[in-house]
């Protein structure tokens, strides 16, 4: 999105040139690349991460929401004043609600009732009509994605053209947007000196899109999947079949199926990451480096460390800090729950929430 630089009289404490964003959509993306100091020193590599929690809606899914909505507008799939309908674990819904409101749309979100209270509240604050659905397998017709699709169909039957189902999992405008924006940002920010990229997958749009963009510029860049236990994707990449084992407290990542966005993603390596490995990394990142990030970011950091060790010292590895840890306070920073799940609890967290 275009920006304009404005110069004028300033005080000694002002910036001499200010970048003005004309609307919410133009504030999405162009996030900074952060050095993860602990991961870098641990591996002898430069381990970097895109600070996606700095997007206006607080997550990388703002990019997904914007890409899907712009594509729908360009193709005439949504009309002015129409209704956006989506099935989401939360973050894409938040992005759609905020960006949609700024562009004149209302939003109806169907999501599993197992998601964090913080995300449910954030959706409602953003103005979305939130419908909580019992968590069931994708094969069940009552799965939140199927219910969302059916609701959009009902709205269009009553008033043709009044609703648009965003379909983030299988609408490849998701992947294409990351291929055209997020991937090139990473390439430019590293000046093309990147040896590997790794992140988790839910819809698969981020990993597939960024992977395609980087491989197009340098086919030797290694692309890796960092998958939480309980997801079937890592086993699929490694063994060619969908098989899930274990479980995870992470939200919004992992899958039991191959989405259209994930299909044909150029993935070289994949790992299944247990909570006992990923959660302590996000605790360490907060305590020692000040970045408060969510569970998927812990999975991503664990994958970045594994990929860096696979490549060896001296390489540059990039991952994603997808959203903020404050959206998962009741899980990630709850000593009682962490003890119950056999996840190490740092002393400072025990002291912060005694008893």
Positions annotated as catalytic residues are 61
Pairwise CA distance, residues 295 & 297, whole Å: 5
Check: CB of residue 133 under 8 Å from CB of residue 142: yes
Q: Tell me which residue of 98, 253, 102, 105 sits closest to 165, measured CA to CA.
A: 105
Q: Tell me which residue of 82, 231, 244 sits closest to 161, measured CA to CA.
A: 82
Pairwise CA distance, residues 328 & 232, whole Å: 23
Strand, coil or helix: 238: helix
Within 8 A by CB and 6+ apart from 53, the residues are 59, 293, 294, 297, 321, 322, 323, 324
The beta strands (E) that lie in the chain are given as 4-7, 17-20, 33-35, 46-51, 83-87, 106-112, 129-133, 163-165, 196-199, 222-228, 269-273, 316-321
Walk across the sheet containing 129-133 and list its strands.
129-133, 106-112, 83-87, 163-165
CB-side neighbour CA atoms (13 Å) of 341? 24
Q: How many helices (H) and strands (E) does the chain have?
A: 14, 12
Strand, coil or helix: 133: strand
Check: CB of residue 41 under 8 Å from CB of residue 75: no
DSSP letter, residue 164? E
**Other beta carbons less than 10 A from residue 76's beta carbon:** 8
Six-digit token string for 156: 């269009």
String of DSSP letters for 46-92:
EEEEEEGGGSTTSBTHHHHHHHHHHHHHHTT-S-TT-EEEEE-SSHH
């Amino acid at each position: 999105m275009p920006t304009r630089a404005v110069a004028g009289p300033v005080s000694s404490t002002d910036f001499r040139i200010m970048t003005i964003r004309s609307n919410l959509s133009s504030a999405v993306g162009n996030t900074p690349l952060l050095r993860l100091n602990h991961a870098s020193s641990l591996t002898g590599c430069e381990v970097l991460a895109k600070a996606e929690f700095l997007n206006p809606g607080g997550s990388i899914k703002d990019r997904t929401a914007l890409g899907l909505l712009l594509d729908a507008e360009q193709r005439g799939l949504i009309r002015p004043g129409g209704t956006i309908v989506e099935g989401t674990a939360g973050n894409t819904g938040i992005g759609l609600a905020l960006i949609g409101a700024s562009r004149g749309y209302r939003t109806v979100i169907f999501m599993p009732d197992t998601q964090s209270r913080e995300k449910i509240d954030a959706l409602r604050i953003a103005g979305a009509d939130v419908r909580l659905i019992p968590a069931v397998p994708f094969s069940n017709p009552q799965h939140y994605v199927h219910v969302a699709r059916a609701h959009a169909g009902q709205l269009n039957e009553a008033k043709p053209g009044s609703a648009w189902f965003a379909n983030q999992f299988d609408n490849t405008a998701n992947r294409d947007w990351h291929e055209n924006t997020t991937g090139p940002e990473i390439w430019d920010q590293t000046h093309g000196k990147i040896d590997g990229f790794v992140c988790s997958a839910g819809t698969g749009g981020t990993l597939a899109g960024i992977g395609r963009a980087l491989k197009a510029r340098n086919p030797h860049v290694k692309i890796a999947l960092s998958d939480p236990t309980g997801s079937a994707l890592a086993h699929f990449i490694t063994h060619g079949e969908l098989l899930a084992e274990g479980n995870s407290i992470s939200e919004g990542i992992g899958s039991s199926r191959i989405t259209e966005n994930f299909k044909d993603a150029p993935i070289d390596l994949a790992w299944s990451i247990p909570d006992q490995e990923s959660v302590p990394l996000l605790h360490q990142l907060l305590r020692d480096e000040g970045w408060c990030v969510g569970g998927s970011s812990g999975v991503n950091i664990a994958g970045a460390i594994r990929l860096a060790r696979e490549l060896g010292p001296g390489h540059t590895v990039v991952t994603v800090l997808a959203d903020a840890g404050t959206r998962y306070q009741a899980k990630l920073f709850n000593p009682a729950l962490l003890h119950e799940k056999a996840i190490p609890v740092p002393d400072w967290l025990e002291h912060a929430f005694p008893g």
